[in-house]
Structure 1
Amino acid sequence: MQNWLYILLTVLVAYIVISVLLYFLQDYFLFKPEKLSKDFQFYYNNQEIEEYNIETRDGATINGLRFKADNPKGIVFYLKGNSKSIKGWGKFAVDFTRHGYDVIMVDYRGFGKSTGRRTQKAVKRDMQVIYNKLKEKVSEKYIILYGRSMGSGFAAKLASMNNPRMLILDAPYYSLSKVAKKYIPFMPLSLLIKFPMPTYKWLKYVNCPIHIIHGTDDRLIPYKTSVKLSKIKPELTKLYTVIGGGHKNLNTFESYHKMLTEIITTRPKKVNLEGSSINVKHSSKRANAKA
């Protein structure tokens, strides 16, 4: 009896220790920031850029870049993934500037030159501040939100609170709690995780066109996640499948660029269903037999 009690107490103590470590160390596992010095100079071949800093109400600084297009048609607010800084992510801006769109990229708190304590609430507030500044420059009908991986959750939240032209999600997750549960199913993540990022909840309140791009061979965030997300607002959502695409290499597929070109350059057309087979149903074998 004493042995069983000892084993039970040992397991309980280990469980508590793991929970405490998970709570305090999760930022280390969720985020892989690259720090940049204040005097770091950004440079990209054949790209005209403008650097800016935004001071937040709690004293943090959000550093960002604007990639300029000639005679821009609109602005893409690109919310990046959970690693590195805009120093490296900036190379993807060309996928939009070549189509005539300015691109805004920012580093989250603790990334690049950005400062401040990083919490889900703080980052959401920062992104809204930047979005508000974009609205001061252009009408929302010219703003496209693009969220990549970690950034897909923040992009979905922004779209749920505003009225952009469209929302594009690249390799999105259902929620970070669900992703974490895949690796540590035995932990009480609803109590421990600081960044639950419930993309699926925020998508319910999005009223603009939603475009989801995902690779079939994504091992970090499975393709089925996007299938599930696409069913939340099916009347507004279109799912684009990159056959063979992983989590970090979609830009190396020609099909991805064809999809992206279609999304940002094509105006949606209303389909006339009159005279179509939309209401025609196949008869069952039993009904045929009676007939």
Structure 2
Amino acid sequence: MQNWIFVLLIILAVYVVFSVLLYVFQDYFLFKPEKLPSDFAFHYKNQEIEEYNVETRDGAVINGLRFKAKNPKGVVFYLKGNSKSIRGWGKFAVDFTRHGYDVIMVDYRGFGKSTGRRTQKAVKRDMQVIYNKIKEKVSEKYIILYGRSLGSGFATKLASMNNPRMLILDAPYYSLSKVAKKFIPFMPLSLLIKFPMPTYKWLKYVNCPIHIIHGTDDRLIPYKTSVRLSKIKPENTKLYTVIGGGHKDLHTFESYHRMLSEIVNSRPNKVNLEGSSIDVVHSSKAANAKV
């Protein structure tokens, strides 16, 4: 009996130690930042850029880039994924500048040239500060929020608190807690995770058009995640499926670019359902037999 108690105590001790390590070091699992020297010079072929720094109220500095389009018809605030810095992510700005949109990209705290202690609350606050800066120059009806993977949660939160023209989510997650539970199902993540990022909760309060793009072969964040998210505000949401697309390669599919072009160049139109089959009820076989 004493041996069983001893074994259980060892298991409990290992579980507690693992929980503490997970809590302390989870940033290293969730984020893979690339840090850049303060004098690093950004350069992109055939792209005109402007670099800026925004100081936050707690003394952090958020570094970002503006990719300029000729005669811009709006601004895309692009919230990137959890790795690298905008040095690498900047190459995707062309997918919007070619359609006539300026693109704003920023590095989260601890990424690139950005500084400051990274917490979910701090990053949400930082993104709102940047959004407010954009609003000073551009009316919200010309602002598009684009969230890629990790950035999809922050983009959704911004859309829930503001009134952008539209929200585009690329490979979004239901919540980061759900993603983490897939890999460590035996841990009490609701207590341990510092970045729960409940996209599904924030999406309920988004009133602008919502466009979700997801690949069917995404092994990190399954396609079914976007199906679930699309059901939260179905009246405002359109789901775009990239057949065969994974988590990091959607930009290599021609269908993705067709979808993106359709989204950013579209205008919301109210559909006239008068005379349509929307209220038609199928008769049962028995009813048809009587007729």
Q: TM-score, normalised by structure 2?
A: 0.99
Report the counterpart of residue 53 of structure 2 in structure 1. Answer: 53
Report the counterpart of residue 162 of structure 1 in structure 2. Answer: 162
Looking at structure 1, the residues matched to 35 and 127 of structure 2 have their Cα atoms a distance apart, in angstroms, of 20
Moved over 6 A (4+): none
Q: For 1:205, what is the secondary structure of its paired residue?
A: coil
Report the counterpart of residue 109 of structure 1 in structure 2. Answer: 109
**Per-residue displacement from partner, 1:66-86 (whole Å, max 9, x unpaired)?**
000000000000000000000
Report the counterpart of residue 27 of structure 2 in structure 1. Answer: 27
Q: For structure 1, which runs of at least 5 residues remain unmatched after alignment?
A: none
Looking at structure 2, the residues matched to 290 and 10 of structure 1 have their Cα atoms a distance apart, in angstroms, of 73
What one-letter code is carried by the residue in structure 2 that aligns with 1:176?
Answer: L
Looking at structure 1, the residues matched to 288 and 187 of structure 2 have their Cα atoms a distance apart, in angstroms, of 54
Identity over the aligned pairs, expressed in percent? 87
Q: For structure 2, which runs of at least 5 residues remain unmatched after alignment?
A: none
Looking at structure 2, the residues matched to 149 and 120 of structure 1 have their Cα atoms a distance apart, in angstroms, of 15
- State the shift of 1:290 in Å: 4.5
Report the counterpart of residue 185 of structure 1 in structure 2. Answer: 185
Write out aligned runs for 1:1-291 (5 A).
1-291=1-291
Looking at structure 2, the residues matched to 102 and 290 of structure 1 have their Cα atoms a distance apart, in angstroms, of 63
What one-letter code is carried by the residue in structure 2 that aligns with 1:200?
Answer: Y
**Per-residue displacement from partner, 1:22-58 (whole Å, max 9, x unpaired)?**
0001000000000000000000000000000000000
Looking at structure 1, the residues matched to 287 and 84 of structure 2 have their Cα atoms a distance apart, in angstroms, of 62
Out of 277-286 and 19-28, give the one that drifted further: 277-286
**Per-residue displacement from partner, 1:64-122 (whole Å, max 9, x unpaired)?**
00000000000000000000000000000000000000000000000000000000000
Looking at structure 2, the residues matched to 284 and 27 of structure 1 have their Cα atoms a distance apart, in angstroms, of 57
**Per-residue displacement from partner, 1:103-145 (whole Å, max 9, x unpaired)?**
0000000000000000000000000000001111010000000
Looking at structure 2, the residues matched to 179 and 285 of structure 1 have their Cα atoms a distance apart, in angstroms, of 45
Looking at structure 2, the residues matched to 218 and 159 of structure 1 have their Cα atoms a distance apart, in angstroms, of 25
Looking at structure 1, the residues matched to 111 and 286 of structure 2 have their Cα atoms a distance apart, in angstroms, of 64
Looking at structure 1, the residues matched to 286 and 216 of structure 2 have their Cα atoms a distance apart, in angstroms, of 39
What one-letter code is carried by the residue in structure 2 that aligns with 1:63?
Answer: N
Looking at structure 1, the residues matched to 253 and 84 of structure 2 have their Cα atoms a distance apart, in angstroms, of 22
Q: For 2:229, what is the secondary structure of its paired residue?
A: helix
Out of 31-40 and 271-280, give the one that drifted further: 271-280
Looking at structure 1, the residues matched to 151 and 49 of structure 2 have their Cα atoms a distance apart, in angstroms, of 21
> What is the aligned residue count?
291
**Per-residue displacement from partner, 1:184-234 (whole Å, max 9, x unpaired)?**
111000000000000000000000000000000000000000000000000
What one-letter code is carried by the residue in structure 2 that aligns with 1:281?
Answer: V
Looking at structure 2, the residues matched to 161 and 287 of structure 1 have their Cα atoms a distance apart, in angstroms, of 50
Q: For 1:154, what is the secondary structure of its paired residue?
A: helix
What one-letter code is carried by the residue in structure 1 that aligns with 2:138?
Answer: V
Looking at structure 1, the residues matched to 125 and 217 of structure 2 have their Cα atoms a distance apart, in angstroms, of 33
Q: For 1:201, what is the secondary structure of its paired residue?
A: helix
Looking at structure 1, the residues matched to 284 and 178 of structure 2 have their Cα atoms a distance apart, in angstroms, of 40
Looking at structure 2, the residues matched to 169 and 267 of structure 1 have their Cα atoms a distance apart, in angstroms, of 18
- State the shift of 1:177 in Å: 0.2
**Per-residue displacement from partner, 1:138-193 (whole Å, max 9, x unpaired)?**
10000000000000000000000000000000000000000000111110000000
What one-letter code is carried by the residue in structure 1 that aligns with 2:50?
Answer: E
Looking at structure 2, the residues matched to 34 and 11 of structure 1 have their Cα atoms a distance apart, in angstroms, of 37
